[in-house]
Amino acid sequence: MEISIVIPLLNEAESLPELTRWIARVLQPRALSYEVLLIDDGSTDDSWEVIQALATTDEAIRGIRFNRNYGKSAGLNVGFEAARGRVVFTMDADLQDSPDELPELYRMITEDKFDLVSGWKQKRYDPLSKTIPTKLFNGATRWISGIRLHDFNCGLKAYDQRVIKSIEVYGEMHRYIPVIAKWNGFRRIGEKVVQHQERKYGVTKFGLERFIFGFLDLISITFVGRFRRAPMHFFGTLGTLSFLVGLLITLWLTGEKVWLSLHNLKARQVTEQPLFFLALTAVIVGVLLFVAGFLGEMIQLNGPRRDDYLIRERLN
């Protein structure tokens, strides 16, 4: 199997026949073996019935149906597990992603040897309420991750199979797959300007809350990517700094008390000064951060080590 196309969907019954015909029209003349995985994320319309009908007439179409709505990340994760193609594509089901882009994205993976190629909707047909937050989100992600992509959230992406088989997507992490891939050592990440279509059927399934959840997931994935194997490096560093600050303040207050007493000058008790309680708090916080680091190390050592080391090749 050369190509797998993973399409998560929610209430997109009207667009599915047109989308699958469009994909076939693009790929069949190129004699590329392919499969289309339609992941029904708990639709309440006739999407599943449409998928069943399409699968009876086109053997390339496969369907997976969730019992309820779990979100786009869950749909992609299940689709990645089921995908059999050498190159795996993701795209949205609303016809805003053009299947005409698939051949060039396929070439970039197979010939240019990119691990991942992300689409860039340079010209968008979305309202300002969506495009402005998207620009802010993309800017923050570029700054934190160091990946020079213009559109992290573009649904149209192409992956080498090794990438999607070595990552797990959950929460709102689907928008951060390039970041997850980079943390796992897949650094050949490319970008291609793609055509963005106006929505033809239905309404968008995403609201402004996705940017709030997305920002929280960005913080989470940045922390996990950098410190999951050595949590003590994070908690221990903060704990050391906090403990030293508290210790230095305590030594300063004690030294000041001794110096004033030796010179027969009036001095307050160390425990009567507000700064002492700040120092005490800093020491306690430092100890607690150390404990958190030790617990994190214990969990890391004794927990399951899924995809702990990704082996690129073996000889003999």
pLDDT tens digits, 190-210: 999 998 877 776 666 555 566
Ranges 2-6, 122-126, 179-183, most confident: 2-6
Q: Which residues pair with 119 in a beta bridge?
A: 192
Read off φ and ψ for residue 17, nearest 5 degrees: -60, -45
> How much is the mean pLDDT over the chain?
84
Q: Is residue 237 part of a domain?
A: yes
CA distance 179 to 218: 9
pLDDT tier at 270, thresholds 50, 70, 90:
confident
Higher pLDDT, 262 or 201: 262
Q: Is residue 13 part of a domain?
A: yes
Same domain, residue pair 210 and 256: no
Q: What integer is the mean pLDDT of 110-132? A: 82
Higher pLDDT, 20 or 204: 20
For the chain, the distance separating the N- and C-terminal CA atoms, rounded to the nearest angstrom, is 25
Burial 165-203, CB ≥16 within 10 A → b, else e? ebbebeebbbbbbbbbbbbbebeebbbbebebeeeeebe
Q: Is residue 141 part of a domain?
A: yes
Q: Is residue 292 part of a domain?
A: yes
Q: What integer is the mean pLDDT of 279-286? A: 92
Same domain, residue pair 141 and 254: no
Same domain, residue pair 96 and 199: yes
pLDDT tier at 260, thresholds 50, 70, 90:
confident
Question: What is this structure's pTM?
Answer: 0.73
pLDDT of residue 158: 97
Domain-ending residue, one of 182, 199, 227: 227
Same domain, residue pair 235 and 221: no
Q: Is residue 316 part of a domain?
A: no
Domain-ending residue, one of 205, 227, 249: 227
Same domain, residue pair 80 and 198: yes
Domain-ending residue, one of 210, 227, 244: 227
Same domain, residue pair 27 and 102: yes
- The answer, yes or no, to whether residue 131 has pLDDT greater than 80, is no
Percentage of residues in the chain having pLDDT higher than 70: 84
- The answer, yes or no, to whether residue 73 has pLDDT greater than 80, is yes
Same domain, residue pair 257 and 187: no
Same domain, residue pair 156 and 270: no
Same domain, residue pair 182 and 260: no
Name the domain count of the chain.
Answer: 2
Same domain, residue pair 180 and 262: no
Find out whether 188 and 115 touch, Cβ atoms under 8 Å: yes
50 is in which domain, residue-wise?
3-227
pLDDT of residue 309: 47
pLDDT tens digits, 48-63: 999 999 999 999 999 9
Same domain, residue pair 51 and 190: yes
CATH number for the domain that contains residue 73? 3.90.550.10
Same domain, residue pair 221 and 239: no
